[in-house]
Amino acid sequence: MSVISIHSNVRDYSVTFQADGNFIRPFSRFPERLFVIDENVWRHHRHGVLGDIPETERLLFAVSEERKNLNSVMELYDQLMSRSAKKNMTLISIGGGIVQDITGFVASTLYRGLNWIFVPTTLLAQADSCIGSKTSLNYKSFKNVVGTFYPPAEVHIYAPFLTTLDNADFLSGLGEVVKLHIMGGAKSTKELIDRLPLLMLREPESLMQIIRASLAIKQEYMTGDEFDTGRRNLLNYGHCFGHALETASGYAIPHGQAVVMGMIFANSVSVNRGMLRPETGEWLLRELLLTSLSVPLREEYFDARELLQSMKQDKKRVGSGLVMVLLRDDFSLEKMNDFSEDELSLGIDGLRQLFEFPDWC
């Protein structure tokens, strides 16, 4: 068992890597508690690590991107209030990023803050979203525009949850792992490329090493900028176009896979601007980005007008230009606020050629 300590201006918290499933039992020390569990995780693990959770203390939650909104928050408010929840209630979330966002928002707002524990069960949540303090909800067609900064008091990472992930969810998480390792520099990028075959086989030790490395890189970008006003913005590498693509596809493209597409797009912009050598962009594309991309792509996902509208709604946008985080050849990153509509059209044409889509209007 190893522990990472995370500093937060809200409250410091810990990330514990658990060696066995007995870590659930000590949660009984909280006299008032509710487990909110992704129903798919429950189905796979109800006879194993989750088997000791009493029926009266658990709420199974059907997960989808469409449910990541204030209606689901109110459902949880109703459940908690019906249990006469007070300030001493502990909310224990077991699931991926959507469960984290909804329950974290509830924990941060009900009674101005409940005790909250998060047990991430997806690669994306374990390697990325479990730290950083953010909760994010969608509002109508606007993605992640409602939220709070509220870290869980404890995070517990248990590797066997990853063995039951479907391939789409696993590869979605891998997309964020790829992003973080590129942000970590050339050395961490090469290390990830070397480990990729074992990761694809979900070899436990390789997974844990890569998760620890991912969290360490993210923690470095968060230090001194917890509330996302400066350097932490660079963690949106791949997200500016990726979020728009998620929306345009009706969320048929999972988040991490959209981020991979977003990095492919951003790197092509960097090459066109002379920030990234074509050879470096090609190496990243062939050795890492295309290798970790598996989602079926359809040409209707790349409607220029819809993508433009989504990018105009980016909450990081502060001027008339579009926002784009771009990679330089030395693996440093820079947030640009002058990305143009012409560059967007040019980039979409490049994706059409790369994925051999026919011309479309």
pLDDT of residue 360: 38
My answer on whether 54 and 136 are in the same domain is yes
Number of domains in the chain: 2
Strand order in the sheet with 58-61: 2-6, 13-18, 154-158, 115-120, 90-95, 33-38, 58-61
10-residue mean pLDDT profile of the chain (361 residues): values are 92 95 94 96 97 95 94 96 88 97 98 96 98 95 92 96 94 96 98 94 93 97 92 96 93 94 97 97 96 89 92 74 95 95 93 73 32
Q: What CATH number should be reported for the domain holding residue 220? A: 1.20.1090.10
Q: Is residue 360 part of a domain?
A: no
pLDDT of residue 359: 47
Q: Is residue 201 part of a domain?
A: yes
My answer on whether 321 and 206 are in the same domain is yes
pLDDT of residue 314: 78
Structural domain ending residue among the three candidates 164, 189, 216: 164
My answer on whether 218 and 85 are in the same domain is no
How far is residue 293's CA from residue 263's CA, in Å, rounded to a whole number?
11
Q: Taking Cα atoms as reference points, which of 297, 302, 173 lies closest to residue 241?
A: 302
Cβ-proximal residues to 158 (8 Å cutoff; 6+ apart), any chain = 18, 21, 23, 49, 119, 121
At 199, the amino acid letter reads: L
pLDDT digit string, tens, across residues 68-84: 999 999 999 999 999 88
Domain holding 291, by residue range, is 174-354
How far is residue 167's CA from residue 296's CA, in Å, rounded to a whole number?
13
Q: Taking Cα atoms as reference points, which of 196, 199, 263 lies closest to residue 235?
A: 263
My answer on whether 187 and 135 are in the same domain is no
pLDDT of residue 319: 64
Q: Is residue 148 part of a domain?
A: yes
pLDDT of residue 261: 97
Structural domain ending residue among the three candidates 164, 184, 216: 164
Q: Is residue 328 part of a domain?
A: yes
pLDDT of residue 141: 82
pLDDT of residue 58: 96
Structural domain ending residue among the three candidates 106, 141, 164: 164
My answer on whether 123 and 209 are in the same domain is no
Q: Which two tokens stand for residue 359?
A: 């011309």
pLDDT digit string, tens, across residues 107-126: 999 999 999 999 999 999 99
Q: Is residue 359 part of a domain?
A: no
How far is residue 116's CA from residue 323's CA, in Å, rounded to a whole number?
33
